[in-house]
Amino acid sequence: MNKKRIIARLDVKNNHVIKGIHLEGLRKVGNPNELAKKYYSQGVDELLFIDAVAAYYDRNSLTGIIKQTCKDVFVPITVGGGIRTISDIQLALNAGADKVAINTKAVESPSFIKNASEVFGSQCIVSSIEAKKNGNIWEVYTDNGREPSGIDVLEWVQEVEMLGAGEILITSVDQDGTKKGFDIELNCAISKLVNIPIISSGGAGCAHDVADVFLRSNIDAVSVASLFHYEIETVGNLKKYLSFEKNINLRL
């Protein structure tokens, strides 16, 4: 059985880590390099950096932050936001990232996932999906949850797996920042359809929420922001709770 992972998510705007609700109403919560070192020292398994304003500038601007983080942090790093070309991926990897998360460009041109996975390997390509409930379906959104695509999330996850994505990052826009727990129904539905690892993001308000999504759906990792940024839990305490009280098989 694969060991479950805890990933710290850092959404970055103008060199500040920010946090909002439903991916909006952003407020500054800290310095990205300082928070990355803090979560690394506490035992986080991976870091996820998202350029929160890449859609405005049509590019990813995290290269300098990633280079600095890699001097002090030695866990896998995923970079997302504004990844639109093969060159963008190469720049992120050259800066020290291990993986890239692709959303908008994949929706606009699904063949980009295929091309990227062929060039860099599936293990490097994360399909980032922003999901909003719309009637009886979850719809894929882009541009930080602002733009509807008309695509059904459950159809899209199967397509990105077929195209060569090595992992899926599913962010529930409805739950993001609410601290009301993950969208369990969404995570269960996706985990029944694909065989690649799933990272769940959006909604963690306490350690129980993280345990809940692990125990009730077959996901592989959680991406946590508010829980760590607002010091509701430390990485170490969360891992102890999940491992020793809930018997969840974690990387320790």
| Catalytically active residues, by annotation | 11, 130
User: Which residues are paired to 95 by β-bridges?
Assistant: none
Residue 148's closest CA among 132, 160, 159?
Answer: 132
Q: Where are the beta strands (DSSP E) in 14-113?
A: 16-21, 24-30, 46-51, 77-80, 99-102
d(CA 122, CA 164) in angstroms, rounded, equals 6
CA distances from 199 to 126, 157, 215, 218, 243 (A): 10, 12, 14, 10, 18
d(CA 236, CA 42) in angstroms, rounded, equals 6
Are residues 113 and 164 in contact, defined by beta-carbon separation less than 8 angstroms? Answer: yes
CA distances from 155 to 142, 159, 171, 212, 250 (A): 16, 6, 16, 25, 30
d(CA 34, CA 36) in angstroms, rounded, equals 5
Which sign, positive or negative, has the C-alpha torsion 119, 122, 128, 129?
positive
Are residues 170 and 190 in contact, defined by beta-carbon separation less than 8 angstroms? Answer: yes
Give the H/E segment covering residue 102. strand 99-102
User: Which residues are paired to 101 by β-bridges?
Assistant: 80, 126
